Chain A
Amino acid sequence: MTTTTDILTLAAAGGIEPGAGLTMLVPVLTLLGTLLCGLCAAFKVKSKLPAWLSVACLAGSFVAIAATYADLGHQQRLAHGFEWINFSYTGTDGQPVTFKANFAFYIDSLTLLWMLFVTGLATLIALYASEYMSHDQGTGYCRFFAAFNLFVFSMACLVMGDNLLLLYLGWEGVGLCSYLLIGYFYTRPSAVAAAKKAFIMNRIGDLGLALGIMLTFVHFGSVEYAVIFEKARPYIDALKAGHLDEIPLVASFIPILLMIGAFGKSAQLPLYVWLPDAMEGPTPVSALIHAATMVTAGVYLIARTYPLFLLSDVALPIVGWVGASTALLAATIGMAQFDIKRIMAYSTVSQLGYMFAGLAVLSPVGGASHVFTHAFFKAMLFLSCGAVMHGFAGQLDLRKLSGLFRMPGWKVVSVAMLVGCLNLAGFPLITAGYWSKDIILAEAFVNMPGVGWVLLITAGLTAYYTFRVFFRVFMGPTHYEPGDEVHGHDAHGHGDAHGHDHGHAHHDDPHGHGPAVTATAHDPHAGHDFHPHAPGWAINTVLAVLALASFAIVPLMLTGEHHGWAGGMVEHSSAAYHTVGTSGYLEAAHGHGPHDHGHTHGHDHDHDHGQAHGTFLGMDPHKVMYYVSGVVGLLGIAAAFWLHLAGRTSAASSRADALVPAMGPLAGWARGKWFVDEFYDALIVKPLWVISHIFHVIDTLIVDGLVNLVGWVPRALGGVLRPSQSGQLHGYAAGMAGGLALLLIIVLWVTLR
């Protein structure tokens, strides 16, 4: 490990504080992984080498982060890599201004929490992808893993950077990798469109983030967290004293701009529409980038700059309501979809809404805990869906798959899916998802009861749509129809093309019964000669590890004094900055404000709140929410059982079908995703199209016309003179002789006159 020693020598010279040096390995290793995958592509490697290289680099990163955590615990360290940007100029007031942004890492427990699950999950998902992407072995395989490593590099810059500019670099980097990986199947128009949509939607949010960073620099004179938070301290003190009016208006704009960036990256209203479409990418990408890590960058941004968010009395309420509305809207859409991967995408949007609401109700602990648990179970859900999609030739329609639990070779996937669903549904006591959701719900009822109610309804809907998928696809009578990726290349239905255009199944029967294959577990050769191919060891191992991990973190959620281990990690970071050295000052500040933020955080049952705060039907939310959220989750699961499993005899129909007419237009609207895409199309895309066509006409007529006129005038003049150039030598000679004679005559006439 010469690299390690190099880094440590560098640490001694370059100002890396002891204990933080290993974090520098993460960008080094991931960049190395990108480079090696690129070299594999250059040398046309056809084996699984890029996957193993990536797994090795990512596992190395995880070990480096884990070792750093073991070393540092909750301490804070600065690791200075190199000087990146440093210049001075004279400001408008004549004072010198210095802009400094180093390639340096700020390591605290919040950073480590994020990096632990980012690198850990990246390792597991890379292992999963080694098998999942095996159809594409060759250049595509190398391209996939190169982008995968680059993504983790960008994520490391985003999460570990000690200044907002390095965060912005990582922010754009993950956006780029997301774009590259959504558009991985670049021959498929829908994938290309989805990639562009994701990129453009993110640009809108990134504009907000960029403006927020600029305003931060203008106001605080630095983009480094340490300096910003130090300069924000007087404002926090003013807040403590209840003088909200002492905070300059400019400072309160900063969180609103940063928030726009967070909404774009984390797929919140009104910028969420890109995330469901991003499912066009390969499933491991959906699991890592679009479920577990990148989309939580917005939550990280708000948690990291939490002190700034306290400076505005509207910022956090906006975050809360946006999060709650997104959670509810996405849950209702998820209830009515049939594509299981899309359902998981909407549930991601919905759960991200939960996290934002958690941050907003003065509980960064709840938000970050939910990020942590969600990363595990949502990655697992996506990977299970991916295994199904992989095995059934791209089939994702829950009306065409049923009873996979009883098929040989699908036990691990089914169990992993069940564990993921239990977590997402918030099954009481034994699941980590239940505990993290509970923190948010209780705190929401205390501080913003309206948000609390919306979230509670969403929790019920979440449990319903989650188990709708599980009961339809994994339980009930065994039945399957392959997707349209069947190419008969070999006995396992490996195809080289990956289009799974959902509108074009193999049959024309609108009811989905056409030449369907109703096969029993013992007769997989029926029908189209299609063999569902059960996942191999890599997929099964990863799913088993994730399933065990999601249970292993349950005790972590229950230890420690700050709502478990993840909560403790947040409590010792800048996200809990406002509580350092004080207690309950926010009661004074926000308690008198229009938004009635009751108190800081936590289920501190023994704490005497001393003033009115939100209750759940007159009871203390901290005491009853355990039972309420558990019951709501169970009710949702029971509803799904009754509507989608009990008495179901075929894959395509269930009792829920009878409910659809009773719902009136609501069911159709939910299935049509509330027509948000159509609304954006009519509001933005169509007007832009019309305007651009008007400009096109103006461009061709006036601008092009002027330019062409300038070109036409010399050409017309040339046309007049052109006949003189006959190309005949004698013509030119006669011209010369004649000209000479003429000249002579003129000279003679002038001299002899």
Chain B
Amino acid sequence: MLNPGGNIQLDGEGRLRHFLTTDGLDRRILIEILDHAESFAVVGDRPVKKVPLLRGKTIVNLFFEASTRTRTTFEIAAKRLSADVQSLSVNLSSTTKGESLRDTLQTMEAMHCDMFVIRHSGSGAAHFIARLVAPHVSIINGGDGRNAHPTQALLDMFTIRQHKPDFAALRVAIVGDITHSRVARSDIYALNTLGVREIRVVGPKTLIPAGIESLGVKVYTEMESGLRGVDVIIMLRLQRERMRSALLPSEQEYFRCYGLTEERLRLAREDVMVMHPGPINRGIEIDSRVADGERSVILQQVSNGIAIRMAVMALIAGAGRGRA
């Protein structure tokens, strides 16, 4: 049986049907996405930046949470695949979340959409919707609450592989607000599946969830020891509302303890890669000289986001046809 666990993300033949989380996706699927993304990446360099793969398909980006780069790269990815794409920013009315989500979706389905990209502040929103949709409709998670952001994780893996193809040799540090980060969680699952040598999470105790060691990571509450000898640093965005919730003293204090500066960068390996999902807070989690410096691959991550999203959309649309 190709989908023995009944993974909601896979169809009966073990192919990707929804893309909701990197948790529970095996190495074969992750590598398949990365390999296809390599082919899609070159489409952006051509005179005609478009392939006809998803001609006639309709993709709707349903964004219940603000986003610029994720939404834009999903749109560009869909357009480069020749799909028709519509983006909707939906304001949540606080009392009727579950209901309005279902209603919005059914309205969209009635318009014969083939695929939805969902971003929502509620953890589990994408899974919730994936269980509701008609069999011919696929869901891609564009980020749900603090749960998962799987396309970000895959574009991170793709960027790492471009520079350092041997995952088994890598020490990776994820730095910042681990507790509230869907990027951290999705990266950790993907890095483990791809078999990296070591994953470290680095941040203040108040922003590292208790028991996270069970995901196969080492916890460091001190920046200096956490960065020593690492090959990859993934910085997380510090959300300012965390200051208000008293988890952190101040922005200046945070930068002093956990900001990525040139001095701290020297503790890592000489060829270290500096990554960040964006948008960056200069002077809060990262010094401008590092963000714009030669070790930074932050803008490559953005470009790679298009190729990864093309690969995921194409694989899902392909598997979807198999069901028909």
Query: Are the chains A and B members of one assembly?
Result: no
Chain B interfacial positions (CB closer than 8 Å to A): none
Chain A interfacial positions (CB closer than 8 Å to B): none
